[in-house]
Amino acid sequence: MAFIDWVLHPTELWAAFWYVMRHAPPDEKTPKLQVSGDMKRCYDFLEMTSRSFAAVIQELHPKLRDAICLFYLILRGLDTIEDDMTIPGAKKRSLLENFHEIIYQDGWTFKESGPDEKDALLLVDFDVVIAEFKRLPTGYQVIIADITKNMGFGMAKYTRARVESLEDYNEYCHYVAGLVGHGLSRLFSESGLEDKSVGEKLALANSMGLFLQKTNITRDINEDVLDGRCFWPKAIWSKFADTEDTLISKPNRDKSMNALNEMCTNALAHIPDVMEYLDQINEPTVFKFCAIPQTMAIATIALCFNNPKVLDTNVKIRKGEALKLISQSNNLDSVRRVFYRYLERIEAKNDPKDPMYGQVRKIVDKAKKDIANSLKGGAPVDHTAAYFAVALVIFAALVFFYQNSAAWI
């Protein structure tokens, strides 16, 4: 099956080839990441908790690399506590609300995570993260501690509150992801690599986080409901299902698809802010760090839109597709073309019978028009048909060679 995927998507195979070449084991011409001691252990934790983020963080400018690695690990520790359903409510809220002080406590560790928490080891050895955090420049520490405080209080609130209204939904996503955008933007400015204004336009930074978080929440509905929780706002799902469990039930599938498409539409509304945010980023490694998750998100939303499989399982974009997106996230024009391509896919899947048809069409048309107007040469041309034809020729040639190889030997 993987072989067929590569044949049917030759540009992804090419992207995978260059990714492997670029990330091959380093030789004398490719210097290794220069870290040692406890900071090396922090990068090991980074690899353990997120392979995808680990790669882009390690490619960041040296002025930012360690700070963002530690920022990620601190928030991952906070998130691990929030996700752990075995921690009693009162204790969990106390940990979340005080985590911004805990990160200054020498030697603090946590060994009470549930047996199914995949990142529990990070908390077991969290004293290593604390030690390195306290070595950061004070400006970085202040930003990270401030975001951790606000996020912890927000998470604590939603251990008791439920996501009912669209306002709740936006607030919850702000606490768990929008604040990450705030923190990163402030760190970019603090480093001097980006203009001071980047750390001040926090509404745009918030939208960057919300687009990612809403994409994940939309995709993860089956897994979340089976785990006994749901982050889809009741204001959306209650129009199409009596209970959260009904959302993923087969008999309710047609109605639940309407809810799914409304969730996708809600996420798509953030695209103008995403484009505006990326337009202000100048440092190449910072741009790529910001752009890669956004291109992954638009690809995921396009995959989820009008796709009943989302209600049955956790759908993911192909590995080759992800590698291609990484290679296309180097500059703003390329990112705009990626968004345009996936907006066209959403447009093709938009069903006139769906209640969100008109809203989706409005959002997609405007986003495509804005992108086309900002691109040199106008709207991108879709070469999918040509690539597919080439792939068929290659595949036919391989089959012919295989069938006739014995005669040639």
Q: Say yes or no to pLDDT of 283 above 90.
A: yes
- Dihedral, CA atoms, 87, 224, 46, 109, nearest 10 degrees? 0
Catalytic residues: 172, 219, 229, 289
Assigned token pair, 81: 């506590």
All structural domains of the chain with their residue ranges = 36-139, 162-378
Q: How far apart are CA 103 and CA 266, in angstroms?
A: 35
Closest CA to 184 of 294, 269, 339: 294
Percent of the chain with pLDDT over 90: 77
pLDDT for 328 beyond 90? yes
- Classify burial at 302, counting beta carbons within 10 Å of its beta carbon; exposed 0-12, middle 13-18, buried 19 or more: buried
**CA within 13 Å, CB half, 379:** 14
Contact between residue 264 and residue 345 where contact means Cβ atoms under 8 Å apart = no
Q: What is the pLDDT of residue 227?
A: 87
For range 43-49, the mean pLDDT? 93
Higher pLDDT, 327 or 28: 327
Looking at the chain, the whole-number percentage of residues with pLDDT higher than 70 is 83
The label of the residue with tokens 């209970």 reads 243
Category of 100 on φ-ψ map: left (φ > 0), alpha (ψ -120 to 50) or beta: alpha
Q: Which two tokens stand for residue 317?
A: 């974009």
According to the model, what pLDDT value does residue 10 have?
45
Return d(Cα 245, Cα 103) in angstroms, integer.
38
219 Cβ contact list (under 8 Å, min separation 6): 300, 304, 310, 314, 315
In whole angstroms, how far apart are CA 25 and each of 21, 22, 32, 42, 213?
A: 9, 9, 9, 20, 33
Please indicate whether residue 227 or residue 208 has the higher confidence score (pLDDT).
208
Task: Give the span between the Cα atoms of 174 and 323, in whole angstroms.
Answer: 28
pLDDT at 405: 57
Q: Judge whether residue 30 has pLDDT over 60.
A: no
H helices of 9-88, where?
Answer: 10-22, 37-49, 51-58, 62-83
| pTM for the structure as a whole | 0.85
- CA torsion sign for 360, 257, 270, 63 is negative
What's the pLDDT at 338? Answer: 97
CA 227, chain centre distance (Å):
21
52-65 residue pLDDT tens? 778 889 999 999 99
Q: Which CATH superfamily is domain 162-378 in?
A: Farnesyl Diphosphate Synthase (1.10.600.10)
Determine the pLDDT at residue 37.
77
Mean per-residue pLDDT, 264-292: 97
In this prediction, residues 174-186 reach a mean pLDDT of: 97
| 312-335 mean pLDDT | 93
Confidence grade of residue 17 (pLDDT, cut at 50, 70, 90): very low
- What mean pLDDT do residues 234-262 have? 96
Would you state the structure tokens that stand for residue 167, as one six-digit string? 């306002």
**Residue 372 pLDDT exceeds 80:** yes
Q: Is the pLDDT of residue 6 over 60?
A: no
pLDDT of 399 higher than 60: no
Looking at residue 29, its pLDDT comes to 37
Is the per-residue pLDDT at 24 higher than 60? Answer: no
- Asked whether the beta carbons of 296 and 322 are under 8 A apart, the reply is yes
pLDDT band with cut points at 50, 70 and 90 for residue 379: low
CA contacts within 13 A on the Cβ side of 357? 8
List the structure tokens of 11. 């540009």
Dist CA 388 CA 395 (whole Å)? 10
Give pLDDT, residue 146. Answer: 98
Query: Which of 46-50, 230-234, 252-256 is least confident?
Result: 46-50
Check pLDDT > 80 for residue 15.
Answer: no
Overall average pLDDT of the 76-100 stretch: 95
Listed in sequence order, the residues at least 6 apart from 85 whose beta carbon sits closer than 8 Å to its beta carbon are 114, 227, 228
Average pLDDT over residues 299-304: 98
Rg (CA), the chain: 23
Q: What pLDDT score was predicted for residue 98?
A: 98
Q: Pull the structure tokens for residue 397.
A: 């040639």
What average pLDDT score do residues 135-141 get?
98
- State yes or no: pLDDT of 386 exceeds 80: no
Burial zone of 131 (CB within 10 Å; 0-12 exposed, 13-18 middle, 19+ buried): middle
pLDDT of 286 above 80 = yes
Alpha-helix runs per DSSP H in 220-356: 221-226, 234-237, 244-247, 253-268, 271-279, 284-304, 319-327, 332-349
